[in-house]
Structure 1
Amino acid sequence: MSNSNKNPADEMKDKIAAKAEQKSQMLYDFTKQGKGKWRIQNDVVMGGRSESQLKMTEENYALFSGRVSLENNGGFCSIHQTSEIEPFIIKEESDAFILNLKGDGKDYNFRIRTPKGRHSYASTFSTNNNGVWETITIPFKSMQATYRGEVVNVPNYNGENVVEMQLLIGNKKEENFEIFVQSIAVN
C-alpha cells in the first residue's frame, strides 16, 4: 500500500534511484575498506626512478601521489590490488567501471586483469583540477587488451571476472601528481 500523501513524481524518482543502486556493484570502497591489499608498483621494477605513495586521508579517502621520472628509462607510477584466489565477480548485466575520484587535471590509466591470460585491459581517462569529486565512467568495450603497455591482438574487455585492478600514471613526461580515490564500482 503506497502513502497517498507522497508525490507520484517523488515515488518515481525513488524507484529510479533504487534501480540504479541495484544495478551498481561496488568492487572496492576505500572509505569502508581502507587501504587493504592495495600496493605501490612504480617503474623501479624496470630500473626507473619514479616515486609514489598511497596514504589514507583523515576522511578515509585513498591519496595516491608522487613524482613520475623519465630518468633511467622510467616513466610510470601505479597502485594495484591483486585478488587471484577470490576474483571480483562481475555481474553479467554490467557494462562499465565507475571510479569516484578527485583529480589533478592529469591523465590516468585504469587497468584490470582477468583470470584468462597475462594481458590487461586498459583505458586512459582525464581528470579535472577543480577540487570537486568526479565520477569517471569507463565502458567495458573501450578497454583495450595490452601487455606491458603495448596493445595486443585480443578483443576488448567483455565483462569477465577481475583478478587485478590498477590505477597508473605514465604520460611520457616528468610530473608531480596527486589523486584522491573513493571507490571503484561497476554499473
Structure 2
Amino acid sequence: MINLFLICLLSMIQPTNTLFEFSVDSDPKSWTVVNDGVMGGLSKGQFTISKEGHGVFMGKVSLENNGGFSLIQHRLPSLNVKKYNSLVVRFKGDGKKYQIRLKTNASDYYNYAVSVQTSGKWETISIPFESMIPQFRGRLLNASTFPGAQIEEVAFLIGNKKAEEFCLEIDWIALK
C-alpha cells in the first residue's frame, strides 16, 4: 500500500518531459558560455561535467571594465510547450542568486527570466511560465510574460552586481 502511495506521489512531482538530463556522458560543448567580455568585461565562467554526471557552471564575476555577468545557454530544436505550464529544474547552488532564462526563438534579442535564490543544497523548483518576465540586458520590457508556446533556448546567468566566485550544479531540466 505504501509503495503505491509513493508511486502516485512521485508521478505528481516528476517532470513529464525532460529537456536536458546531465550524465557523465553529457557533452559540455552543447552548452555555450557567454561572459561579459562581449562588452569589455573580465568575468570568467566555464561549464564542465562533474565526475558524478552533473553540469557545473562555475567561475568568477568581475566588475572591472563595466563587466558583471556570466551565462551558459543551450539551444534546442524548436519545441512546442503548449501542453505544459512550468519549467522544472533540479540544481545545487552556492547560496547565490541566479537567473533562469528561456527564449521562444533563439534569435530573439530578449528573453524571459526569473531569479532564483539557491540554498547550497540540492533542490527541485518548479517555475510557472507566467512568472517568467520579458527582459533585455536586465531591463524589463513592457510585454506579456512567457507565452508558453515554444522554447528554443534555456540559459542560466549570474549577475548580482558584485564581484564574486560562483558554482551552480545542474542535474536536469524538464517541463511540467
TM-score scaled by length of structure 1: 0.85
Flag the structure with larger Rg: 1
User: In the aligned structure 2, how far is the partner of 1:63 from the partner of 1:140?
Assistant: 25
- 8 A contact 1:24–1:186 mirrored in 2: yes
| Correspondence 1:20-169 to 2 at 5 A | 20-21=13-14, 24-31=16-23, 33-83=26-76, 86-90=77-81, 92-115=82-105, 117-129=108-120, 132-169=121-158
User: In the aligned structure 1, how far is the partner of 2:91 from the partner of 2:11?
Assistant: 23
User: In the aligned structure 2, how far is the partner of 1:174 from the partner of 1:28?
Assistant: 30
Shift of 1:26: 0.5
Q: Counterpart amino acid of 1:52?
A: G
- Consecutive unaligned residues of structure 2, counting only runs of 5 or more, are none
Shift of 1:16: 4.4
Residues 72-91 of structure 1 deviation map (CA, whole Å, 9 limit, x = unaligned): 110000100123xx22332x
Q: Counterpart amino acid of 1:72?
A: N
Q: Counterpart amino acid of 1:97?
A: L
Call closer, same or farther: CA 1:95–1:68 in 2, change over 3 Å: same
Shift of 1:55: 0.9
What secondary structure is seen at the aligned counterpart in 2 of 1:163?
strand
Residues 15-40 of structure 1 deviation map (CA, whole Å, 9 limit, x = unaligned): 4434554x621111112644251011
- Consecutive unaligned residues of structure 1, counting only runs of 5 or more, are 1-6
What secondary structure is seen at the aligned counterpart in 1 of 2:51?
coil
- 8 A contact 1:70–1:172 mirrored in 2: yes
Amino-acid identity (%): 34
Structure 2 counterpart of 1:3: none
Q: After TM superposition, what 4+ stretches of structure 1 lie above 2 angstroms from structure 2? A: 9-21, 32-36, 115-118
Residue 11 (structure 1) aligned to one of 4, 8, 11: 4
User: In the aligned structure 1, how far is the partner of 2:31 from the partner of 2:71?
Assistant: 10
Shift of 1:170: 0.1
What secondary structure is seen at the aligned counterpart in 1 of 2:4?
helix
